[in-house]
Chains A and B, each alone.
Chain A
Amino acid sequence: MSKTSAETVVENNQTGNQFPAVSDDNRVALAEQEKREQWKLLSLTFPALVVIALVILIPVGWLFYLSFIGKAGGFSLENYQKMIEYKSYARTFTTTFQVSFLTTLICILLGYPLAYFLAQLPGRWVGFFMLAVLLPFWTSLLVRTYAWLVLLQRKGIINDFAINMGLWESPIKLVHNMTGTLIGMAHIMLPFLVLPLYNAMKKIDRDMMHAASNLGASPARAFWTVYMPLSLPGMVAGSLIVFVLCLGFYVTPAVLGGGRVIMVSTQITAILENQFNWGAASALGVVLLIATLLVLFIAGRVLKLDAALFGKS
Chain B
Amino acid sequence: MNESSIVDSALPISIRGLTKQYGQLYALDTVDLDIKSGEFLTLLGPSGSGKTTLLMAIAGFNRPDAGSIRFGDKEMILTPPHKREVGMVFQSYALFPHMSVAENIAYPLKLRRVNKSERRERVNKALDTVQLSGLGERHIDQLSGGQRQRVALARAFVFEPRILLMDEPLSALDKKLRERMQIELKDLHRQLGVTTVYVTHDQREALTMSDRIAVIDNGQLMQVDAPQVIYNQPSNAFVADFIGESTMIPLKRTGNELFVGDERVSSVPDTPAETDWSLVIRPERLMVEPGTADRDSTLFFNGTVKESVFQGETALLLVVLDDGTEVSVRSSTGTATPGITANPGSQVQLAIFRRDIIVVPTGNSQR
Binding site for B on A (CB under 8 A): 205, 207-208, 210-219, 221-222, 225-226, 229-230, 313
Contact = CB atoms under 8 A, between A and B. Distances in A.
Contacts of B85: 216
A222 B87 CA distance: 16
Interface in B11-32: none
Contacts of A213: 61, 80-82
A218 B94 contact: no
B97 A313 contact: yes
Contacts of B286: none
Interface in B102-137: 107-108, 111-112
B367 interface: no
Interface string B63-103: 00000000000000000111111111011101111100000
Contacts of B84: 214
Given A205-B94, A210-B90, A230-B97, A313 B82 contact: no
A221 B108 CA distance: 12
A42 B6 CA distance: 67
B108 A215 contact: yes
A251 B300 CA distance: 93
B88 A214 contact: yes
B327 interface: no
Contacts of B155: 215
Contact of B141 (A210, A211, A221, A313): A313
6 tightest Cβ-Cβ pairs between the two chains A and B: A211-B94, A207-B94, A215-B108, A213-B82, A216-B111, A213-B81
B159 A215 contact: yes
B111 A217 contact: yes
A205 B91 CA distance: 12
Given A214-B82, A230-B98, A205 B111 contact: no
B82 A218 contact: yes
B348 interface: no
Given A216-B82, A216-B85, A210 B94 contact: yes
Contacts of A216: 82-83, 85, 108, 111-112, 159
Contacts, number: 61
Nearest to B158: A215
Contact of B82 (A205, A217, A225, A229): A217
Nearest to B90: A207
A150 B107 CA distance: 53
Contacts of A313: 97, 141
A214 B87 contact: yes
B317 interface: no
Contacts of A222: 82
B59 interface: yes
A182 B94 CA distance: 40
Nearest to B112: A216
A184 B97 CA distance: 38
B111 A210 contact: no
A14 to B, nearest CB: 34
B90 A211 contact: yes
A226 B96 contact: yes
Given A217-B111, A221-B111, A208 B96 contact: yes
Nearest to B86: A214
Given A208-B94, A211-B94, 5 more contacts: A210-B88, A215-B82, A216-B85, A229-B98, A230-B97
Contacts of B61: 210, 213-214
B98 A215 contact: no
Contacts of A226: 96
Contacts of A219: 82
A205 B92 contact: yes
A215 B59 CA distance: 11
B252 to A, nearest CB: 52
27 contacts: A205-B92, A207-B90, A210-B59, A211-B94, A211-B95, A211-B96, A212-B96, A212-B107, A213-B61, A213-B81, A213-B82, A214-B61, A214-B81, A214-B82, A214-B87, A215-B155, A216-B82, A216-B159, A217-B82, A217-B107, A217-B111, A222-B82, A226-B96, A229-B98, A230-B96, A313-B97, A313-B141
B100 to A, nearest CB: 13
Contacts of A230: 96-98
Nearest to B98: A229
Interface string B315-338: 000000000000000000000000
Contacts of B159: 215-216
Nearest to B84: A214
Nearest to A211: B94
Contacts of B80: 213
A234 to B, nearest CB: 13
A205 B107 CA distance: 18
A148 B86 CA distance: 54
Contacts of A217: 82, 107, 111
Contacts of B92: 205, 207
B93 to A, nearest CB: 8
A215 B85 CA distance: 7
A9 to B, nearest CB: 38
Nearest to A210: B61
Contacts of B87: 214
B158 to A, nearest CB: 9
B112 to A, nearest CB: 6
A222 B111 CA distance: 10
B251 to A, nearest CB: 47
B273 to A, nearest CB: 42
A235 to B, nearest CB: 14
A215 B87 CA distance: 7
Nearest to B108: A215
A247 B86 CA distance: 51
A12 B299 CA distance: 61
